[in-house]
Structure 1
Amino acid sequence: MTTYREFFRQFSLLYRPFEHHLNLQLAKHGLYRAQWTIIYYLSNQSSATLVELSNYQNVEKPTVTRTINRLEELRIVEQMPSKDKREKRIQLTLLGKQVYEEVRLTVDKYEQHILKGISESDQLNSIRLMEEIRKNILTKGEHE
């Protein structure tokens, strides 16, 4: 088997179990990964539009809208007016910030557990590789 085939075989074997176990950890807080991704983003960016969130998650705007609606029902996020009257900005509520801190502890514990035995140097190299692969995927060109 070629190296690149083995690379992507290993990636596909890793992705689904990671998502599954992450969702099990998030379920302890009544959340799913898509919700957590938005909470995480808003915690780090302070606010965002639906378009910014859909671009970040690389999903369609209606998908993000449904997730935002659910997070609003849970009182984790709220809409606020922006300079452009046609779009609203989304931000975490006070409860949302508390939820972020609680869930962050659970996710940190999980992520540290699954990286046990992997050096920081190897982690940094993997981050660099994933960034490069993502850039290659998003670059239009020869592969199409």
Structure 2
Amino acid sequence: MRKKQPFFFLLNQTTRQFSKSFNEHLVPTGLYLAQWSVIHYIHLHGPCTQRTICSNLNIEPPTLTRTLRRMEVLDLIVRKEGTDKREKMIHLTDKAINQYDSWKEQIISFENDVIKDIPDEELDIALQVFQKMMNNMKASEVTKQGE
């Protein structure tokens, strides 16, 4: 039997601290982690529906709705009709596209500060562990949905 460790408590506290530090680091830009996640996803994958963003970023619909509303007010996204008129496609605005590289540079700088003094081998192991945990959780969801 594995010795009990505060792994999940520490993981939760680490992610909370990461979000807090991320947001504090980007205060001058007016950007927050939730907004960056959406911007980065759309930048990589192109315009998409709210449902697609929820599914791929593991965000609850009401939470994403609030984030998207704030982003619209900030002129970071715009909703346009897609091929299916019932669903709107979410696009980045020119403002968001023009600021993307600057935001990304600041975020990379922040991330580099967070992982400084951690050898690449340890980071690779952490990434593998996180991916296995995500796979286990997704498999568990599929199993529960099939019951």
> Structure 1 length normalisation: TM-score?
0.87
Cross-structure match for 1:93: 93
In 2: Cα distance, 1:119 partner to 1:137 partner: 27
Tell me by how many angstroms 1:34 deviates.
1.1
In 2: Cα distance, 1:11 partner to 1:66 partner: 26
Tell me by how many angstroms 1:110 deviates.
0.6
1:130-141 residue pairs with structure 2 within 5 A?
130-140=130-140, 141=143
In 2: Cα distance, 1:99 partner to 1:70 partner: 17
In 1: Cα distance, 2:125 partner to 2:4 partner: 17
Please tell me the residue identity of whatever aligns with 1:116: K
> For 1:41-78, what per-residue CA distance to the aligned partner results, in whole angstroms no more than 9, with x for missing partners?
11111111010111123232232122112111111111
Residues 118 and 86 from structure 1, CA distance in 2 versus in 1: closer, same or farther, beyond 3 angstroms? same
> Structure 2 length normalisation: TM-score?
0.85
Residues 135 and 38 from structure 1, CA distance in 2 versus in 1: closer, same or farther, beyond 3 angstroms? same
In 2: Cα distance, 1:79 partner to 1:9 partner: 38
Cross-structure match for 1:7: 7
Which runs of 4 or more aligned residues in structure 1 lie more than 4 Å from their structure 2 counterparts after TM superposition? Answer: none
In 2: Cα distance, 1:114 partner to 1:17 partner: 11
Residues 4 and 42 from structure 1, CA distance in 2 versus in 1: closer, same or farther, beyond 3 angstroms? farther
In 1: Cα distance, 2:70 partner to 2:122 partner: 38
Q: Specify every segment of 5 or more residues in structure 1 that has no aligned partner in the other structure, as ranges.
A: none
Tell me by how many angstroms 1:24 deviates.
0.4
Tell me the secondary structure at the aligned position of residue 75 of structure 2: coil
Give the length in aligned residue pairs. Answer: 141
> For 1:53-105, what per-residue CA distance to the aligned partner results, in whole angstroms no more than 9, with x for missing partners?
11123232232122112111111111222111111111111111122222111
RMSD: 1.9
